[in-house]
């Protein structure tokens, strides 16, 4: 809220607010600021106050005025790395819809999660609340390996290139419960699941290669592949799986090297792959000679019996990616991949070139937690708590007039607001809420009325009533 009794004028306060969002990339280069009239109405100030604020932003070099069009965040503020985060080499989607750069990009959402927008629960968060993840067994596990003798044994030298042997054995046993048959020798530990995906991409792909990725999908994956110089082929994701006709057309016309899929509790829709679709995907992979990367980041929230491509394929053309950040400790960054035997050495070489090894202390502690059953019991408690939170969140959403574009399951909900969620996200920032607008989940950014919510952080009626009010204002 702008404060009339502040030492700063209203124009100064408003300029500081916009400046901070621009520096935090919550307003990306090229994004248009609200018109003077719109901003005055939204902030409850006079148009002259908004003009004064925009003049200050102009003087700071943060925005530029375009004749008869309005005020825009200066393009020159964006670094080369950030240009890479705005996909530009993608193949147009099958519907041929035009693309545009969204005001809120993937790294902006991550920055918001790291630094916090306010002390309110954040609906756009990709992780569970801290209080949900608090345990006693993690600290006990670390202390177990922190005595001088054990620390000297593994800390004064590089660890095993593929990762701690105990953790790889524990992961192998865990994967067997998912019907994924992977020996410890087929498993490589990584610094989180994103690192595992990066290792696979850098090993199997070269700049200019085509990659099929589900759409909607996670913006970080689109941006990461684009930064590596890949050509993205967005495959529409349906309830039963990816659009197989689009996949086959892409495979025949572009000879993609890779298909990246979140088959179980897909982000952001929550869809789970059907057995029939899984068989067809593997048939296409064999016929057109591409690999499939199965990102099972949300496996701890899902049924062990859910259909997984790697289980059906037996790790022949498939590569499994998993991790523990979502269910356990986001900052530990312990992930892994399981791969066909003939790819393991190549993948391991890529890991060595990027990180040499991974931290043995955390891997040994995590292996002990897996072996003791602590993580399994913790995951069961989390799933029960999430089920209750999901029911409450869905009831609140529906009571305030919102509908779900996909059946609510897992940790995320895919909500239709009926208005452009890019514009809505900027208004919700004024209220202290960070949204994940639908444009983030497309390879080529376009307006969307959808947004992803975290069921665990949307338990308060105040959030939904605020969202309802701002949606109504946006429609008028």
Instruction: Determine the pLDDT at residue 116.
Output: 65
Q: What are the tens digits of pLDDT across the range 12-45?
A: 999 998 888 888 777 877 888 989 988 998 888 9
Q: How far apart are CA 464 and CA 6, in angstroms?
A: 30
Range among 161-175, 215-229, 352-366 rated most confident: 161-175
Q: What are the tens digits of pLDDT across the range 283-296?
A: 999 999 999 999 99
Q: What are the tens digits of pLDDT across the range 422-439?
A: 889 989 998 999 999 998
Instruction: Determine the pLDDT at residue 103.
Output: 42
152 or 140, which is more confident: 140
The dihedral sign for the CA sequence 146, 149, 150, 155: positive
C-alpha distances out from residue 323 to 137, 209, 308, Å: 18, 27, 16
Instruction: Determine the pLDDT at residue 266.
Output: 97
Instruction: Determine the pLDDT at residue 280.
Output: 98
What average pLDDT does this structure show over 324-343? 93
Taking 60 as the threshold, does the pLDDT of residue 101 lie above it? no
Q: How far apart are CA 427 and CA 39, in angstroms?
A: 10
Range among 22-31, 173-182, 327-336 rated most confident: 173-182
Q: How many CB atoms lie within 10 A of CB 439?
A: 26
Lowest mean pLDDT segment, chosen from 94-103, 205-214, 237-246? 94-103
Taking 80 as the threshold, does the pLDDT of residue 391 lie above it? yes
Instruction: Determine the pLDDT at residue 206.
Output: 96
Lowest mean pLDDT segment, chosen from 4-8, 56-60, 68-72, 223-227? 4-8
Name the token pair of 274: 């059907």
Q: Give all domains of the chain, ordered by start, each with its CATH number.
A: 1-78 (1.10.10.10), 135-374 (3.40.640.10)
Instruction: Determine the pLDDT at residue 87.
Output: 40
Instruction: Determine the pLDDT at residue 372.
Output: 92
Q: Residue 368: enclosing H or E segment and its boundaries?
A: helix 360-371
Percentage of the chain modeled with pLDDT above 90: 66
Q: Give me the chain's average pLDDT, please.
A: 89
Please provide the DSSP assignment of 220-269 as one string.
Answer: HHHHHHHHTTPEEEEEEB-SSSB-HHHHHHHHHHH--SEEEE--SS-TTT
User: Contacts for 74-78 with beta carbons within 8 Å, 24 or more apart?
Assistant: 74/29, 75/29, 75/30, 76/29, 77/22, 77/29, 78/28, 78/29, 78/30
What residues pair up with 338 in beta bridges, in sequence order? 187, 320
Q: Indicate the pLDDT class of residue 99, thresholds 50, 70 and 90.
A: very low
Collapse the DSSP code of 161 into the 3-class scheme (helix H, G, I; strand E, B; otherwise coil) and give the result: coil
Q: Indicate the pLDDT class of residue 176, thresholds 50, 70 and 90.
A: very high
Instruction: Determine the pLDDT at residue 82.
Output: 40
Instruction: Determine the pLDDT at residue 95.
Output: 42
What average pLDDT does this structure show over 197-207? 97
What average pLDDT does this structure show over 375-382? 94
Spatial contact of 325 and 127, defined as CB atoms under 8 Å apart: yes
* pTM for this entry: 0.85
441 Cα distance to chain centroid? 9
| DSSP 8-class letter at 333 | -
Taking 90 as the threshold, does the pLDDT of residue 344 lie above it? yes
């Amino acid at each position: 809220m702008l404060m009339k009794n502040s030492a700063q004028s209203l124009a100064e306060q408003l300029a500081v607010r916009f400046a901070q969002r621009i520096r935090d990339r919550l307003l990306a280069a090229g994004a248009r600021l609200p018109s003077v009239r719109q901003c005055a109405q939204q902030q409850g100030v006079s148009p002259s106050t908004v003009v004064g604020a925009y003049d200050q932003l102009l003087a700071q070099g943060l925005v530029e005025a375009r004749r008869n069009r309005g005020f825009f965040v200066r393009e020159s503020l964006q670094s080369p790395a950030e240009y890479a985060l705005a996909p530009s080499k993608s193949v147009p989607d099958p519907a041929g819809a035009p693309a545009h750069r969204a005001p809120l990009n993937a790294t902006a959402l991550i920055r918001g999660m790291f630094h916090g927008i306010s002390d309110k629960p954040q609906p756009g968060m990709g992780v569970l609340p801290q209080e949900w993840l608090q345990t006693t067994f993690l600290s006990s596990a670390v202390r177990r390996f922190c005595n001088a003798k054990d620390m000297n044994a593994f800390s004064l030298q590089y660890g095993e290139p593929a990762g701690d042997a105990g953790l790889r054995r524990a992961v192998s046993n865990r994967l067997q419960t998912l019907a994924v048959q992977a020996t410890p020798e087929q498993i490589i530990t990584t610094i989180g699941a994103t690192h595992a995906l990066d290792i696979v991409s850098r090993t199997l792909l070269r700049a200019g290669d085509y990659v099929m990725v589900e759409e909607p999908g996670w913006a970080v994956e689109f941006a990461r592949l684009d930064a590596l110089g890949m050509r993205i082929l967005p495959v529409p994701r349906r309830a039963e799986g990816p659009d197989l006709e689009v996949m086959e057309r892409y495979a025949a016309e572009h000879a993609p090297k890779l298909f990246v899929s979140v088959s179980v509790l897909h982000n952001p829709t929550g869809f789970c792959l059907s057995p029939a679709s899984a068989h067809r995907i593997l048939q296409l992979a064999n016929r057109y000679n591409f690999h499939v990367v199965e990102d099972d980041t949300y496996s701890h929230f899902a049924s062990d019996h859910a259909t997984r491509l790697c289980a059906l394929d037996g790790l022949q053309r498939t590569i499994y990616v998993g991790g523990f950040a979502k269910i356990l400790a986001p900052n530990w960054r312990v992930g892994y991949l399981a791969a066909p035997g003939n790819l393991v050495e190549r993948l391991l070489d890529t890991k060595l070139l990027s990180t040499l090894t991974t931290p043995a202390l955390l891997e040994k502690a995590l292996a002990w937690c897996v072996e003791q059953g602590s993580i399994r019991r913790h995951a069961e408690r989390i799933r029960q708590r999430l089920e209750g939170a999901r029911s409450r969140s869905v009831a609140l959403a529906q009571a305030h007039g919102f509908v779900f574009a996909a059946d609510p399951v897992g940790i995320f909900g895919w909500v239709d607001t009926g208005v452009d969620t890019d514009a809505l996200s900027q208004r919700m920032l004024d209220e202290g809420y960070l949204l994940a607008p639908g444009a983030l989940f497309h390879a080529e950014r376009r307006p969307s009325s959808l947004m992803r919510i975290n069921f665990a952080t949307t338990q308060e009626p105040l959030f939904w009533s605020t969202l309802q009010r701002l949606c109504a204002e946006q429609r008028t």
